Amino acid sequence: MSAAIMMLLLLPKSNSQRTTEVNNEYGIVWWDQDLVKWIIKEHPETAIGFKSQKSETRAYDLMSDISYIIRKLRHQRTLSDAELRRTSDKLAYLTEAGLNVEWLRPNLEVKKREAYVERKKRDACEARIVELKQEVKKLELAKSGLKAELKNEEAKLNPRSFWNLLGNCFCL
């Protein structure tokens, strides 16, 4: 297990300390500590083959990426395409860095399927809205035609009406 991950496990949790701690040149946000502890406890294979590059922020960035992925995958709402792309990119980055995070991939696939279904529903609704608008236009045209026909029939019944007289005089 890398020194950065061990350091994360040993840092005390402090709710009053809401800033970034600096310990052994790694910046750790207090709320990430419990998440990292949970990841290592539930999925110890995550740290196997970890490739550190002696960067002060490398371990923090990797843990931050894992934290981001887990938070996105736990969302109840459907993720946007941009969020899915970013989550997928971060997962690929973590895999390339040597972390075994394949246990997150099935959850990402579920979220992708949910987004696909949601997008299909939205596209179908938008297409239906366009169809309904076209149908409303046709009905409005038919309605105006029927109104004109109604006026003509009323004029035939009452040839001496005021509107008929005006229509005859001014060619309306």
Task: Count Cβ neighbours within 10 Å for each residue of 85-123 and write b for 16 or more, e otherwise.
Answer: ebbbebbeebeebebbbeebeebbeebeeebeeeeeeee
Average pLDDT for 90-95: 86
Task: Report the run of H or E that residue 155 belongs to, with start and end.
Answer: helix 105-157
Tell me how far apart the alpha carbons of residues 93 and 116 are, in angstroms, rounded to a whole number: 23
pLDDT of residue 165: 64
Percent of the chain clearing pLDDT 90 (strictly above): 19
pLDDT of residue 33: 64
User: Is pLDDT larger for residue 89 or for residue 169?
Assistant: 89
Domain ranges of the chain: 3-117
Q: What is the DSSP letter of 21?
A: E
pLDDT tens-digit map of 113-145: 999 999 999 999 999 999 999 999 999 999 998
Give the chain's radius of gyration (CA, Å): 33
Using DSSP's 3-state secondary structure scheme, residue 25 falls into coil
The long-range contacts involving 47-51, CB below 8 angstroms and separated by at least 24 positions, are: 47/1, 47/2, 47/5, 47/99, 48/100, 49/98, 49/99, 49/100, 50/1, 50/2, 50/5, 50/97, 50/98, 50/99, 51/97, 51/98
Residue 163, token pair as written in the block: 């509107």
User: Is pLDDT larger for residue 5 or for residue 151?
Assistant: 151
**Residue 71, CA distances (Å) to 11, 35, 77, 127 in order:** 21, 10, 12, 33
**Residue 107, CA distances (Å) to 46, 74, 87, 135, 137 in order:** 16, 9, 11, 42, 45
The long-range contacts involving 128-137, CB below 8 angstroms and separated by at least 24 positions, are: none
> pTM here?
0.49
pLDDT tens-digit map of 17-61: 444 444 433 444 555 667 766 776 677 566 555 544 545 556 677
pLDDT(69) > 80: yes
Banded model confidence at residue 15, pLDDT cuts 50, 70, 90: very low
pLDDT of residue 37: 65
